[in-house]
Structure 1
């Protein structure tokens, strides 16, 4: 067996395991999906801080990851509600954590021997914003597809399929037809042909999801456009971080795919845009993914 074929089989197997974990947990329950996302938050934060350290920054790794997991956990409690804790208590806890986050980081920095405290605090905060907030948005997308706020995994499942379709079609079209480079400063492999191929594939999957789920074609088509356009920027953003750190992959958690940031780079930038899009559909245009 050739080395290329071994790499392809490794990549395919690890990708299949990841897909089963994500989709299976999503369909099982909000708590299983939240648990998987929490693991991804921890892994993504660890990788981001490792990249920052390669640029001679010294983020507060342990505190940053702890704050990120606490924010994500409180968000899950606020979203779904837990008996004995209460919605109001969880919401107040999340707000208090956000208010105290910067002062606590600054106080902790006083006790560290660090030549550049501003960079340390800045990269610690950026890791939290870059990784945990998009995962919170992804968790919310599964509750924002209809007129109410009940758990509806079809919305998040459709979004994930759209992101994957965008990635696959951009790769296939770019490899066959790519001639005009797109943002070569951060990624030499990206082309405009691949970009439009990815958008077309994402919209096609979005419309297929609308038909399969019995949803609104216009709402799903718009979601696919937003996810595809911003997902590409997420890929470029992560490439920018990796190039600055002079590394090929953000980690080696998933053989053939790299780390959490490598696999979920499109989600990390597109999920907030999609969440805002769904909120605008609901409250401004009175349109829902599912009628």
Structure 2
């Protein structure tokens, strides 16, 4: 068996396992969904800080990761309250909420304080990349906690599943159309293989999944088509953003966690940028 076929087999098998783990965690319970997001957050932040270090940066890995996890825990708690009857949360209702908010707020100046004792030549850049890891990786995964609770039906995994399927459909159709008839480069500087033909093919695939989601869920077709367009178009920007960081670090993959696929950022880069836009769209339209 050739190396190419062997790599394809590894990639296919690991992709099936990854898909089963992700979908199983989403469907099983709110706790498995939260655990999945937390694990992806930690791994993704480690990969992002690794890319920064390849360019000579020195992010505060521990402070950044702890800040990201604290931010995630707060948002998971808010989403849990919405899903299971609290409706909304008021400061003073829970000492855990107050302590959590205080912890997150204090971690930001702590980053600056820690930099005082590191003696680095470019402290502003190191602080900046530390906080960017929180914004780029931890914030999107934290915001995804709200997608299953926005329908007002308690904990409902269907919107997350449809969102994931829409992003996957966009990726698959963009690849197939781009490989078949891609001629005009979308952003050759960052991703030489992406084409405008593939971009619009991906949009078509995402819209098809959006229509299927509307049919299955009984929701409005126009609203789901709009969500598919928002998710797919911003997902492409997420791919390009990660390509920008990898090119700067001169690496092919962000990590090696997923055999044949690379790291967490390689597999979930689209969602990192699209999740905030999808959440805002759902809040306004759906």
Q: Which moved more, 1:10-19 or 1:96-105?
A: 96-105
Distance in 2 (CA, whole Å) between partners of 1:194 and 1:69 is: 36
What is the aligned partner in structure 2 of residue 117 from structure 1? 123
What is the aligned partner in structure 2 of residue 262 from structure 1? 266
TM-score (norm 2): 0.93
What do residues 214-265 of structure 1 show as CA deviations (whole Å, max 9, x unaligned)? 2221111111000000000000000000000000000000011100000001
What is the aligned partner in structure 2 of residue 275 from structure 1? 279
Of the three residues 76, 97, 105, the one matched with 2:111 is: 105
Please report how far the alpha carbon of residue 77 of structure 1 lies from its aligned counterpart in structure 2 after TM superposition. 1.8
What is the aligned partner in structure 2 of residue 47 from structure 1? 47
What is the aligned partner in structure 1 of residue 242 from structure 2? 238
Residue 75 of structure 1 contacts residue 94 of structure 1 at CA under 8 Å; is this kept in 2?
A: no
Of the three residues 198, 214, 220, the one matched with 1:194 is: 198
Structure 1 segments of 4+ aligned residues over 6 angstroms from their partners: none
What is the aligned partner in structure 1 of residue 36 from structure 2? 36
Distance in 2 (CA, whole Å) between partners of 1:90 and 1:190 is: 46
Residue 45 of structure 1 contacts residue 65 of structure 1 at CA under 8 Å; is this kept in 2?
A: yes
Is 1:135 matched up with 2:141? Answer: yes
What do residues 41-79 of structure 1 show as CA deviations (whole Å, max 9, x unaligned)? 000000000000011110001111111112112221222
Distance in 2 (CA, whole Å) between partners of 1:91 and 1:158 is: 31
Please report how far the alpha carbon of residue 35 of structure 1 lies from its aligned counterpart in structure 2 after TM superposition. 0.2
Change (3 A) 1:167 1:120: same
Segments of structure 1 that go 5 or more residues without pairing to the other structure are: 282-287
Distance in 2 (CA, whole Å) between partners of 1:190 and 1:140 is: 31
Residue 72 of structure 1 contacts residue 132 of structure 1 at CA under 8 Å; is this kept in 2?
A: yes
Residue 78 of structure 1 contacts residue 87 of structure 1 at CA under 8 Å; is this kept in 2?
A: no
What is the aligned partner in structure 1 of residue 25 from structure 2? 25
Please report how far the alpha carbon of residue 2 of structure 1 lies from its aligned counterpart in structure 2 after TM superposition. 1.7
Segments of structure 2 that go 5 or more residues without pairing to the other structure are: 85-91
- Root-mean-square deviation (CA, aligned residues, Å) is 1.6
Distance in 2 (CA, whole Å) between partners of 1:117 and 1:135 is: 27
Change (3 A) 1:23 1:114: same
Residue 7 of structure 1 contacts residue 256 of structure 1 at CA under 8 Å; is this kept in 2?
A: yes
Residue 146 of structure 2 contacts residue 279 of structure 2 at CA under 8 Å; is this kept in 1?
A: yes
What is the aligned partner in structure 2 of residue 16 from structure 1? 16
Distance in 1 (CA, whole Å) between partners of 2:25 and 2:57 is: 35
Residue 75 of structure 2 contacts residue 143 of structure 2 at CA under 8 Å; is this kept in 1?
A: no
TM-score (norm 1): 0.92
Residue 74 of structure 2 contacts residue 101 of structure 2 at CA under 8 Å; is this kept in 1?
A: no
Residue 63 of structure 2 contacts residue 107 of structure 2 at CA under 8 Å; is this kept in 1?
A: no
Please report how far the alpha carbon of residue 149 of structure 1 lies from its aligned counterpart in structure 2 after TM superposition. 5.9
The secondary structure found in structure 1 opposite 2:185 is coil
The secondary structure found in structure 2 opposite 1:182 is strand
Distance in 2 (CA, whole Å) between partners of 1:156 and 1:100 is: 32
What do residues 103-143 of structure 1 show as CA deviations (whole Å, max 9, x unaligned)? 11001111112111111100000000000111112221111
The aligned runs of 1:118-267 (5 Å cut-off) are 118-144=124-150, 146=151, 148=152, 150-267=154-271
Change (3 A) 1:73 1:158: same
